[in-house]
Amino acid sequence: MIKKFLDLGFQPMANNYLQTNSKLNKKNIHTYRLEVVFNTDNSLISIKTKIPKEKMFNNKYPYKSSLSSTMRTSFKKISQKIKNKFEPRRLLEIGSNDGPFITNFDKNKVIGVEPCGNLAKITRRYGYYTYANYWDIKLSKRIKKKFKDIDVIYSANTITHIENLNNVFKAINNVLSKNGILIIEDPSLLECLKKISYDQFYNEHIYIFSAISLKQIIKRFSFEIFDIEKLPTHGGSLRYFIKRISNKKLKIKKSVSKQIKFEIKNGLQNFTRYKKFAHDVYKSRKMLVSLLKKLKEKNKKIIGYGATAKATTVLNYCKIADDMIDYFLDTTPDKIGRYMPGTNIRILKYDKKLMKKNYFIFLGAWNFKKEIFNKEHNFLKKGGKFITHVPFPRII
């Protein structure tokens, strides 16, 4: 049974950064009702309305994971671990983006799958074999025919973006070798609930996995989780190491039962836990809007830092526009000069001169707080202040 627990209102496409003010460009704003639901059969959390993949992942996709030093470091570490522990003859990445993971491997040993043509072009330019296709059974058959079996399949922050999970795992099952390893990392549902980070929900994040739900989903395809690592990336993620049930060489580590027990203890299998989360989200919105209004009443200037997809959810749910936040700063070339989706807040090219010590800066990219605070050490030292809504709205 599917049960709704959270309504984040009408939302625009999270990465649809418009070239003109939204008030003047209403024809190009596609909105949908962002409702979040709980599946009582497998404890899977998902958004109710699914947007066609072609509208989300195409030749104009703006996000490049290589722009973050946090993500580059994380990909480098897991790449080294894969080489040392699994020694794959052939490795495949589902959702290779602009290449911060696959570029750690020999070009003859790795395959990229990236449906966003503009990003696939980048890794191809580097000399890496990249399919500019959506991951499905049809593509897995093409890959199997050309390369035979794959020893390691890796996917970070991608599987939860694909609506048809049956198709996803059938395709993986088709191409993964007998003793092959599947490694998936995605935001942790438990961390999302604990941090009240409702901005993890937007059109691209169709699902948010827990170990409880993923275990049940992959069991249907004769897979099982044999290890879990906790990661600080994206506000708290889990990295799942998955094998075929028939592979008895790899033993299931205590990290798996430990995570599942912890999730059960925190009620992730109970609908009442999600109703509490919805109540916490409502309180968070009231607190954030109140905080911003009080600052504006004192004639304080507020700007945004990190024009992220997550920030889109917050701005539109809380109805925050340019009367509250003057502009956002960002380093992503494809976002600069455009407007935050659904609002008339302009995105400017990152420049330290636009961050004055008497400004209050809303952290749109709160999940990279450590990286940002290291970068803005002098700003903070001089008395600069940031605003975050996670785990509750406050001034830092």
Tokens of 260: 């599942």
Instruction: Compute the average pLDDT of residues 345-369.
Output: 95
Residues 77 and 157 in one domain: yes
Q: List, for residues 171-202, the tens digit of each pLDDT value.
A: 999 999 999 999 999 999 999 999 999 999 99
Question: In b/e form, how buried is each residue of 257-287, taking b as 16+ CB within 10 angstroms?
Answer: eebbeebeeeebbeeebbeebbebbeebbee
Question: How far is CA 281 from each of CA 19, 156, 159, 276, 324, rounded to the nearest angstrom?
Answer: 31, 26, 25, 9, 20
Residues 23 and 111 in one domain: no
Q: What is the pLDDT confidence band of residue 22, given thresholds at 50, 70 and 90?
A: low
376 within 8 A of 384, measured Cβ to Cβ = yes
Residues 31 and 105 in one domain: no
pTM: 0.95
Q: List, for residues 113-165, the tens digit of each pLDDT value.
A: 999 999 999 999 999 999 999 999 999 999 999 999 999 999 999 999 999 99
- Where a domain ends, among 249, 268, 287? 268
Q: What is the pLDDT confidence band of residue 24, given thresholds at 50, 70 and 90?
A: very low
Domain count for the chain:
2
Q: How far apart are CA 5 and CA 192, in angstroms?
A: 15
What value does the mean pLDDT of the chain take? 96
CATH number at residue 72: 3.40.50.150
Q: How far apart are CA 147 and CA 175, in angstroms?
A: 9
Q: How far apart are CA 92 and CA 90, in angstroms?
A: 7
153 within 8 A of 214, measured Cβ to Cβ = no
Q: Which residues contact 360 (CB under 8 A, 6 or more apart)?
A: 295, 300, 301, 302, 303, 385, 386, 387, 395
The two counts, helices (H) then strands (E), for the chain are 12, 17
Residue 11 bridge partners (DSSP): 32
Tokens of 251: 């033993």
3-class secondary-structure state, position 263: helix
Residues 131 and 243 in one domain: yes
Strands 91-94 and 110-113: parallel
Q: List, for residues 299-330, the tens digit of each pLDDT value.
A: 999 999 999 999 999 999 999 999 999 999 99
% of the chain exceeding 70 in pLDDT: 98
Residue with token string 């917050």 = 314
CATH number at residue 348: 3.40.50.720
Q: What is the pLDDT confidence band of residue 7, given thresholds at 50, 70 and 90?
A: very high
Instruction: Name the residue range of residue 232's domain.
Output: 44-268
Residues 290 and 158 in one domain: no
Residues 284 and 247 in one domain: no
Query: Nearest-5° angle of CA 212, CA 161, CA 32?
Result: 110
Residues 206 and 331 in one domain: no
